[in-house]
Structure 1
C-alpha cells in the first residue's frame, strides 16, 4: 500500500484480500478488507471487484484465503477448499479468467497455505507485466492502422488498472499511446446500466491527464458517422477459438457501427481470457443480472415498478467484425492471413514490394506492388489507414486507373463512401471531362464522366503510387472541372526522390510507405 491507497486494484495484507471498492468510485476511494471466501464472493458478485483479469486474480487470492482457513498447520481440509473454490469459480459465469485463476491456485494445494499464497501473489506480479506487454503491442497496432497523427479513440466499459491488478488492457493501451503523444481525445462510453465507463474510466483518464469526453452509449455510432473516431479499443471477458469475443453489453453494437464506418475495432486482453475449450461464441454463458440495475439507479426508481427487464451483462461480438485481438504474446487476426500481418503497415508494404530494374524502360527501377494486392488483410488495413487519415473530411472517393481501382474500391468500402473511376481514353461513355499530362516516361490522358462528381463534393483521390505527381495532379484537375474539391491524396507508396508531393502542393498527401530511389 501507499498511504491509504493501493498501488494495485487488489492485493494481500496479513491474511486478508484488500481491494478497491469500485462501487464507491468516483466519489469515494474506499478499501475493502475481505477475510473470508464468502465476503470475497459477495464482493465479486456485487461488482465491488470487477473486470475479467481482476476477478481471476481475486479467485486465486480467494483460494489462498480458503487454504489458510481450512489448515491446522499440518494438514489441509482439501474437500472444504474445493467447496470454496467452486463458490469462487461460479461467482460470475461469463469471464473465463475467474475459473482460470481458481484452478491455477488450486494446483499448488499440495504445497500448503504458503505455496498457494505464493502462486496467487506471483499472478499479481505477472498481471502487471502481461498488461504492459499487451498494451505496447496494441499501441503499435493502432499507430500502424491509423493516420500519422494523434488518434481519436472510443472505448467501452472500464479496462484500466481497476479491471486488472495494474496497468490495464484496452485502457492500458490508450495510456501507452498517450505516453507516446499519440492520443488526441478519448470518447468514453458511459456503459449502461452501471456506468463503469462514466464512473471508472473517466476517473482513471482524469488521474492520468488524458483528454477525454464522456459519450452516451447510443451516441457512439453517430460519433463514428461524424468522423470523430479513428479506432475502437475494448477489453474482453472470454475469447473463443475462432475469435468470437464476449465483453460488456453494448460491445457488439459498437463493432457493427465500426464495421459500417470503416473504423478499426481492436480487442485487448490477456491470454488467460482465451478459452481453448470453446470453438465459437455460441457456447459462452452470458450472465443476466437483476432488474433493479435497469429500473432504478442510485436508489431512485426510474421505471414502473412492475416493468419486465432484459438485463444481460455481456454480449458476443462475432470474429468477422474484429480487426485484431491483442494479447501479451500475439496479435490475432480473426480473418487474417497469419505471419503476414506482423509489423507496422509500412513494414508490411515493404515486405510485399519488389523493385524491378529497367522496367518498363531502361534506367527505370519499377516498384511492383503485386504482392501487396495478393494479401487481402493487408489491402483491408491499407484501406482503413487511408480512410482514417481523412476521416470526416471527404464524402467521395476517386480511384485512378488501373491499380488505383483495387485500392479505391477498398477505401470506398471501408469509409462507406461512393466511388468514381478515373479512366484512360476510350473506356467511358460521355459526356466526359478530359485532361492530358506528362509522366516520368511519356504522356497520358485521364477522363471521368461529368455527372459522377457532385458539385461541392469533398473528394479523396486514391492511387497505388506517387512518383512525379503527374497522374494525381491530372485527377485533381478533373475533380475541379466537375465542381468538386480535393481534400487530399492517398497512396500506398511514395517515391520521395521524384518530388511528386511538391507538384500537388498545397493538397495534402498521405503515403503509407516511402522509398527514396527513382522509379
Structure 2
C-alpha cells in the first residue's frame, strides 16, 4: 500500500512505515501485535485523519518512535518491547535457535531511539531477559506488559481522582492539562487524561483547559481530539495564556503526566510543564503528576541526572510547512523540562502517592508576615529545608480545610546534639504561612530559642514536645479534619481518657502497629492549660510504648507523628479515613472506658 502524505500542519520526521487506513475511531487499542507486525495509530496524522501504521521491521519501529508517530512514554516503551519481539522472530534461524547477538544489537538501537523517557530502556531490558527462552517468550512478556499498562493506568487514574477530589472544592472542576496523556500515549485509558476522564464520569468536571503544547501541538491535536471523542467539555489554551487563566481563577487543579520520575520526586515531562508548575505554585493551585510505576527511576537521586532530548530546529522555525523564522536563526528546542519536586503537590502511580514534603509554595508579599527569627536564607541548611517543608504542608492542609484560619500546627525535629524542633508560629493564618514563620524551640522544654523578636511558637508546642520526648518521631502534625474532630467529641470523657477502637479496619495497617492490642486511639480531654494535655500525653506514651502513632483531643482533632513529615501526614490521613468509616457506618465504637 502506498504511503499517504501527512497533513501539512504536522512535522513529517523520517519517512516512516506504510500506513493502513482506518475509517473512524482508533480501531481498537492504540497499539497491538498482529502476525503482520506491530499495529499503531499514527499520531502525526490526528486529528484530521485516523490511520494505522504497520511496523514490520526494527528500522520502522525506530522511525515511528523518533518521528512521533508513536509518542507518550508508556506507548513508546511498549512499542519498543514489541520491536524486540519482532527482532527475535526475524532473527530465528533454522532449528529454532535465535541469533542473540543480532537481537541485542537491535534492542540497543531501539532503547536509545529517544533518551528522556525511562520506559523505553526499561521495557527493552525487561523483554531481553526472556531472550534465552526464545522468541515466543519475548513476545509473551511484551504482551503481558501491555495488559499491565492497562491495569496500571486504571489504578493510577482512580488514585489520582480520589486525591484531586480531596484537594479541591466539592463542585464541578476547571482542570488544566498539558501535552497528551490519554489512550494514545498508553496502552489504554491514560494517566493524567485518564484521571480527567474518571473525574468527568463522576460529574466533577466543568471544563478542561487544554494547553496547545508547542511546538508540535500534542495538546491541540491529540488531547482535544480525545476529549471530544469522550464528550468532555474543553477549550484550547495557548501555552503562554495558562498563567493568566490561573490568575483569573479559571483553574482548580493542574494534571500532567511524566516521562521520568527521579527518586526525590523531580519529574521530566513535555516542555512547558515546569512553567505551569511555577504558575500553579504562585497561585496556590494543586499541581498533580500522574505516572505509572514504570516511569519512576530510583537510580536517579534527583532530576539533574535526566537527559533532556533536543529536537530538530525545523519544528520551531517552520509552521505548517512554511518557514516563519529568518534563515540562519538558531534554535533552542528541548522536548522536555524538569519540574522540581518542591513545586509538585503529589506524584501518583498505581501503587503510591508521593507528596514531596520539600514543596515550596511561594507566599506573596501581601501575605508574608515579618518573622521573629533570622531569615530562612540565614538558617542552617537542615533548618531552612524544614521551614520550607512546614510552610508548604501547612498551606496544603489549609486548602483542604483541615487547618482552617489559624488552627492546626506542624513541627519537625531537627538533627544535632541539642534537642530542637521547628514549629509553626502562633496565631498565623495557615493558608499564607511562609518559611520564615516558623519558630525554633527546645524539644525537651518547649521553650522558644529565639524569643527576642516577639514571634511565639504554636500553643500546642507542649503536645509536640511530649511526643518528641517519648518517641522517636521526626515530625508531628496536628490538624482538624471533620470526621476525626467529630469522633473525638463523641468519644470524649469529662475527665480521663476516652478511646476509639480501630480493630478490624483495613486502613489500620497504615499506622504500622506492632501490637494489635494497641489498635485504638486515646481521646484526651481538651484542658484549657495545654501544658496539662502535654503532660498527660507524655505519661500515656511512656506507659504505652507500642501505642498507635496518633491521638485525638476532645473537640480538637488529630495529632499524628512519624519518621518525617510525609509519614506523619500519611498517618493523619489514615486516621481521618478510619474515623469517616466509623461514623458513616454507625459503628464508631467510641468508648468512655479508660484507654
| TM-score, scaled to structure 1 | 0.69
Q: Residues 407 and 430 of structure 2 are in contact (CA less than 8 Å); yes or no, is this contact kept in structure 1?
A: no
Question: How far does residue 376 in structure 1 lie from its aligned partner after superposition?
Answer: 6.7
Q: Residues 134 and 169 of structure 1 are in contact (CA less than 8 Å); yes or no, is this contact kept in structure 2?
A: yes
Q: In structure 1, what is the Cα distance between the partners aligned to 2:158 and 2:408? A: 38
Question: How far does residue 409 in structure 1 lie from its aligned partner after superposition?
Answer: 2.5
Aligned partner of 2:292 in structure 1 is: 270
Return the match for 1:380 from 392, 395, 403. Answer: 395
Q: Residues 84 and 124 of structure 2 are in contact (CA less than 8 Å); yes or no, is this contact kept in structure 1?
A: yes
Q: Residues 318 and 324 of structure 2 are in contact (CA less than 8 Å); yes or no, is this contact kept in structure 1?
A: yes
Change (3 A) 1:230 1:408: farther
Return the match for 1:238 from 235, 250, 260. Answer: 260
Corresponding position: 1:164 with 2:179: no
Aligned partner of 2:38 in structure 1 is: 17
Higher relative contact order by CA 8 Å / sep ≥ 6: 1 or 2? 1
Question: How far does residue 379 in structure 1 lie from its aligned partner after superposition?
Answer: 3.1
Change (3 A) 1:3 1:124: farther
**Aligned with 1:61: secondary structure?**
helix
**Aligned with 2:297: secondary structure?**
coil
Return the match for 1:218 from 220, 240, 257. Answer: 240
Q: Any residues of structure 2 matched to 1:335-350 within 5 Å, and which? A: 335=357
Question: How far does residue 381 in structure 1 lie from its aligned partner after superposition?
Answer: 2.3
Corresponding position: 1:293 with 2:308: no
Aligned partner of 1:6 in structure 2 is: 27
Q: In structure 2, what is the Cα distance between the partners aligned to 1:174 and 1:20? A: 22
Corresponding position: 1:252 with 2:274: yes
Q: In structure 2, what is the Cα distance between the partners aligned to 1:150 and 1:210? A: 12
Change (3 A) 1:196 1:401: closer
Aligned partner of 1:61 in structure 2 is: 82
Q: In structure 1, what is the Cα distance between the partners aligned to 2:426 and 2:44? A: 51
**Aligned with 1:411: secondary structure?**
coil
Q: In structure 2, what is the Cα distance between the partners aligned to 1:143 and 1:101? A: 33
Corresponding position: 1:229 with 2:238: no
Q: In structure 2, what is the Cα distance between the partners aligned to 1:384 and 1:401? A: 13
Q: Which runs of 5+ in 1 are unaligned?
A: 338-373, 388-397, 415-462, 468-492, 496-511
**Aligned with 1:48: secondary structure?**
coil
Aligned partner of 2:328 in structure 1 is: 306
Corresponding position: 1:97 with 2:119: yes
Q: In structure 1, what is the Cα distance between the partners aligned to 2:129 and 2:407? A: 63
Q: Deviation string for 1:228-283 (max 9, x for gaps)? A: 11100000011111111010000011100011000000000010101111111111
Corresponding position: 1:132 with 2:147: no
Aligned partner of 1:490 in structure 2 is: none
Change (3 A) 1:64 1:406: farther
Return the match for 1:29 from 50, 59, 63. Answer: 50
Question: How far does residue 115 in structure 1 lie from its aligned partner after superposition?
Answer: 0.8
Question: How far does residue 302 in structure 1 lie from its aligned partner after superposition?
Answer: 1.1
Return the match for 1:409 from 399, 405, 429. Answer: 429
Q: Residues 386 and 411 of structure 1 are in contact (CA less than 8 Å); yes or no, is this contact kept in structure 2?
A: no
Q: In structure 1, what is the Cα distance between the partners aligned to 2:391 and 2:207? A: 31
Q: Any residues of structure 2 matched to 1:75-114 within 5 Å, and which? A: 75-114=97-136
Q: Residues 41 and 53 of structure 2 are in contact (CA less than 8 Å); yes or no, is this contact kept in structure 1?
A: yes
Q: Residues 264 and 384 of structure 1 are in contact (CA less than 8 Å); yes or no, is this contact kept in structure 2?
A: no
**Aligned with 1:315: secondary structure?**
strand
Q: In structure 2, what is the Cα distance between the partners aligned to 1:386 and 1:206? A: 34
Aligned partner of 1:279 in structure 2 is: 301
Aligned partner of 2:536 in structure 1 is: none
Question: How far does residue 378 in structure 1 lie from its aligned partner after superposition?
Answer: 5.5
**Aligned with 2:79: secondary structure?**
helix
Q: Residues 191 and 291 of structure 2 are in contact (CA less than 8 Å); yes or no, is this contact kept in structure 1?
A: yes
Q: Deviation string for 1:438-484 (max 9, x for gaps)? A: xxxxxxxxxxxxxxxxxxxxxxxxx97999xxxxxxxxxxxxxxxxx
Q: In structure 1, what is the Cα distance between the partners aligned to 2:59 and 2:346? A: 38
**Aligned with 2:338: secondary structure?**
strand
| TM-score, scaled to structure 2 | 0.60
Question: How far does residue 412 in structure 1 lie from its aligned partner after superposition?
Answer: 3.2
Q: Residues 407 and 464 of structure 1 are in contact (CA less than 8 Å); yes or no, is this contact kept in structure 2?
A: no
Change (3 A) 1:159 1:402: closer
Corresponding position: 1:325 with 2:340: no
Question: How many residues are paired up?
Answer: 383
Aligned partner of 2:542 in structure 1 is: none
CA RMSD of aligned residues (A): 3.1
Q: In structure 1, what is the Cα distance between the partners aligned to 2:432 and 2:391? A: 15
Q: Residues 383 and 407 of structure 1 are in contact (CA less than 8 Å); yes or no, is this contact kept in structure 2?
A: no
Q: Residues 273 and 337 of structure 2 are in contact (CA less than 8 Å); yes or no, is this contact kept in structure 1?
A: yes
Change (3 A) 1:67 1:380: same
Q: In structure 1, what is the Cα distance between the partners aligned to 2:64 and 2:87? A: 16
**Aligned with 2:107: secondary structure?**
helix
Question: How far does residue 305 in structure 1 lie from its aligned partner after superposition?
Answer: 2.1
Q: In structure 1, what is the Cα distance between the partners aligned to 2:316 and 2:23? A: 37
Question: How far does residue 328 in structure 1 lie from its aligned partner after superposition?
Answer: 0.5
Corresponding position: 1:42 with 2:63: yes
Change (3 A) 1:408 1:144: farther
Q: In structure 2, what is the Cα distance between the partners aligned to 1:243 and 1:195? A: 26
Question: How far does residue 303 in structure 1 lie from its aligned partner after superposition?
Answer: 1.0
**Aligned with 2:289: secondary structure?**
strand
Change (3 A) 1:71 1:184: same
Q: Residues 391 and 433 of structure 2 are in contact (CA less than 8 Å); yes or no, is this contact kept in structure 1?
A: no
Q: Deviation string for 1:480-505 (max 9, x for gaps)? A: xxxxxxxxxxxxx9x9xxxxxxxxxx
Q: Which runs of 5+ in 2 are unaligned?
A: 1-19, 360-388, 410-423, 435-478, 486-552, 556-576, 589-595
